[in-house]
Amino acid sequence: MTDSPYSVAFDRASVRFPGSAAPALENLSLQVAAGELLAIVGASGSGKSTLLRCINRLVELSDGCISIDGRELREFELGALRRSIGYAIQGVGLFAHLTVAENLALVPETLGWPRKRMKARIDELLAAVRLEPTIYRNRRPRELSGGQAQRVGIARALVAYPRLLLLDEPFGAVDPILRPQLQAELLGVLREARTTTLFVTHDVDEALLLGNRIAVMHDGRLQAIGTPRALLENPPDSFTAEILCGDELLHRYRRARLDEREPRE
């Protein structure tokens, strides 16, 4: 039995880094419902990754607050908070001296899982990210390609049934041929678990495929938010239209893909 997914709320959240002329996040208010997958897009430096890192307190707010299930973030014990959140980051962050299985076992071991349960869950997730467990379980990060290591990072983020999942460009190094398969596998896992997910991506088509809603970030601010269809059919401003719609041909292609897709509700 897994715990119910978290809801997340930002209330006028701002982040100012020392020496930086402009805030990394500015007056951000945003609500993410329990079980929702929110895709976050925007140009480099728009505040997407900072937004994620504030949730598990890798970055502290300068102003405002973040709440999880109505409870202010600073009320949580930091270790317990991070164990309840899965996080797959750019650059992967695997421990080089540990095998793939040992990397995936870190949080389950902390939670006191029996070894048999741990092994079964690790093998299940390696298979889900298209890494044959018998081949990859005992490999070390240096024996993996960049895309394989990134897939291990996704499996590690999911392994302990997190109540909240933070994904920062998790498919950035994955082979384009394999990427759609992994997107479909991830969507299936998240649907089954109903895990609340915030997903940062530069790939607009990926955001349209995976997101229940899409948040568009610009210069540290929330520029727009809505369902993929609403934002494609009626973008609220020229910046959002440029980011999501592109030229007329691309706009038609993306709307056609939405029409072909099954509802995600």
- Let me know if residue 140 belongs to a domain: no
Q: Decide: 23 and 16 in contact? Cβ < 8 Å.
A: yes
User: The tokens 């970055």 sit on which residue?
Assistant: 59
The residue range of the domain holding 182 is 8-84+162-260
Domain-embedded: residue 95: no
Q: Is residue 145 part of a domain?
A: no
**What percent of the chain stands above pLDDT 90?**
60
CATH number at residue 172: 3.40.50.300
Domain count, the chain: 1
Q: Summarize the confidence of residues 48-74 as an average pLDDT.
A: 95
Say if 142 falls within a structural domain: no
Does some domain include residue 181?
yes
Asked whether residue 132 is domain-assigned, the answer is no
Q: Nearest-5° angle of CA 70, CA 1, CA 75? A: 25
Chain segment 116-136, per-residue pLDDT in tens: 999 999 999 999 888 999 999
Confidence grade of residue 30 (pLDDT, cut at 50, 70, 90): very high
C-alpha 179/C-alpha 171 separation (Å) is 7
User: For residue 108, is it within any domain?
Assistant: no
Tell me if 229 sits within 8 A of 259, measured CB to CB: no
Comparison of pLDDT for 83 and 47, the residue scoring more? 47
Asked if the structure places residue 150 within a domain, the reply is no
